[in-house]
A = this chain, B = another copy of it.
Amino acid sequence: MSLTSKQYHHGDLKAAVLDRAAEIIAADGLEALSLRGIARDLGVSHGAPNRHFKNKAELLANLAANGWHKITTATLEAAEAGAAQHPSARLNAMGRGFLSWALQNPSLFQTITHPDVGRHADSALRAAQEDFRATIRQAIEAAQGAGRHPDVNPSALVLYTNAVAFGAAMLLANPQLSPMADHRDLNSLINTVIDMAVPVNSNETTGHSS
């Protein structure tokens, strides 16, 4: 069987469906996603995707679990940039990494934070969310242990820290909501906002000079 011949079996339809779904969401948003449309794009019958996903919600849950893994990875990779320094520097770097990923993948970010996606979460998605939450929570607690807002209720500190990052990502990823008329230099905007929430001792080098 040649690589170009039309085969009865696709080979890896599940992965192809997930890839195409991500493309569609990135291009036209969640509302443009349909199982039949994906099947058409991939040249398979309209029922084929259902062999791999019980329903549309399960496809979205798969996609979202994947997205949470990606944003967790991106955040942890950024953490290395600040890991050798103070826990606050590490947390600061994580915030920037998180925001950068969200702004480079706005539609996927909106998907993983979409209420109707979370509503139908399966165990894999819940685990991915919890993994992300635990990662962030630990970094926040480490920073608090090292002197960041030592007197604030830990739950409130976790909420505040997450709120700055998620809120900024949500506002910037959604042009309709952006409260600022202009934002010419996105990077310096991100750095300023993160630095307000997670100040880093100015004696130390933070790696971002804008």
Interfacial residues, chain A to chain B (CB-CB below 8 A): 29-31, 110, 113, 115-116, 118-119, 121, 129, 133, 136-137, 149, 152-153, 155-160, 162-168, 170-172, 174, 176-177, 179-183, 188-189, 192-193, 196-197
Contact = CB atoms under 8 A, between A and B. Distances in A.
Q: Is the interface of A mostly helix, strand, loop or mixed?
A: helix
Which residue of A149, A171, A192, A193 has the most chain B CB atoms within 10 A of its CB atom? A193
A170 B179 CA distance: 16
Contacts of A160: 164, 168, 192-193, 196-197
A171 B30 CA distance: 20
A170 B180 contact: no
Say how many copies of this protein the assembly contains.
2
A154 to B, nearest CB: 9
A157 B133 CA distance: 26
Contacts of A31: 116, 119
12 contacts: A29-B116, A30-B115, A31-B119, A113-B174, A115-B174, A149-B196, A155-B189, A160-B168, A160-B197, A163-B164, A163-B167, A166-B171
B167 A113 contact: no
Contacts of A171: 159, 162-163, 166
A134 B110 CA distance: 25
Contacts of A119: 29, 31, 176
A179 B162 CA distance: 7
A33 to B, nearest CB: 11
B121 A176 contact: yes
A13 B152 CA distance: 51
B167 A162 contact: yes
Given A158-B179, A159-B189, 7 more contacts: A31-B119, A118-B174, A129-B176, A159-B168, A163-B166, A166-B177, A167-B168
A113 B180 contact: no
A179 B116 CA distance: 18
